[in-house]
Amino acid sequence: MSLLIEILVSAFILIGSFFLFVGSLGLAKLPDTMRRLHGPTKATTLGIGAMLIASMLYFAFVRGVFGIHELLITLFLFLTAPVTALMISKAYIFRNKETQRSLPERAGWATLTEPTRPPDAIKR
């Protein structure tokens, strides 16, 4: 049982670090921002999830301490990674004129239009 837990924890640590490395390699190597966005948002999130599972198993079965912190970190990271990716891609579209020209015209792009203000905001 103890050996099984040790093998499982070591495997999760190695899997997690491997996927963290894959994400960072994608960030360093891919050619433009939209393609670079894939590495950190997918591979790195998977890697950090595996690391946190390893830590949860280790503290629950080897140390005998069961905590909810790892679940909190996992939940937080898995919720915030897509939001960060969306904001970064919006900022990239806003800043890059070539990408703006290649966008389809029919859809309204909230990133590119002026913000509409409520009437009482003008009076102030």
Partner 1 sequence: MIVTACAIAVVIISASLLLTVYRLVAGPDVTDRVLALDTMVVNAIGLIVLLGIVFGSVMYFEAALLFAMVGFVSSVAFCKFLLRGNVIE
Instruction: Indicate the DSSP class of residue 40.
Output: I
**Interface pick for partner 1 out of 59, 60, 61, 99 (rule CB under 8 A):** 59
- Coil, helix or strand at residue 41: helix
Q: Does 46 bind partner 1 (CB under 8 A)?
A: no
Rounded Cα gap, residues 100 and 94, in angstroms: 8
Q: Does 10 bind partner 1 (CB under 8 A)?
A: yes
Rounded Cα gap, residues 81 and 40, in angstroms: 9
Q: How far is the CB of 117 from partner 1 (least distance, A)?
A: 10
Q: Does 21 bind partner 1 (CB under 8 A)?
A: yes
The helix/strand count (H/E) of the chain reads as: 7, 0
Residue with tokens 């009482």: 120
Residue 114: partners with Cβ closer than 8 Å, 6 or more residues away = none
**Interface pick for partner 1 out of 1, 4, 83, 107 (rule CB under 8 A):** 83
**Interface pick for partner 1 out of 1, 4, 42, 91 (rule CB under 8 A):** 91
Torsional sign, CA 41, 42, 48, 49:
positive
Residue ranges in contact with partner 1 by CB under 8 A: 6-7, 9-11, 13-14, 16-18, 20-21, 23-25, 27-28, 33, 36-37, 39-40, 44-45, 47-48, 51-52, 54-55, 58-59, 62-63, 65, 67, 69-70, 72-73, 76-77, 80, 83-84, 87-88, 90-92, 94-96, 111, 115
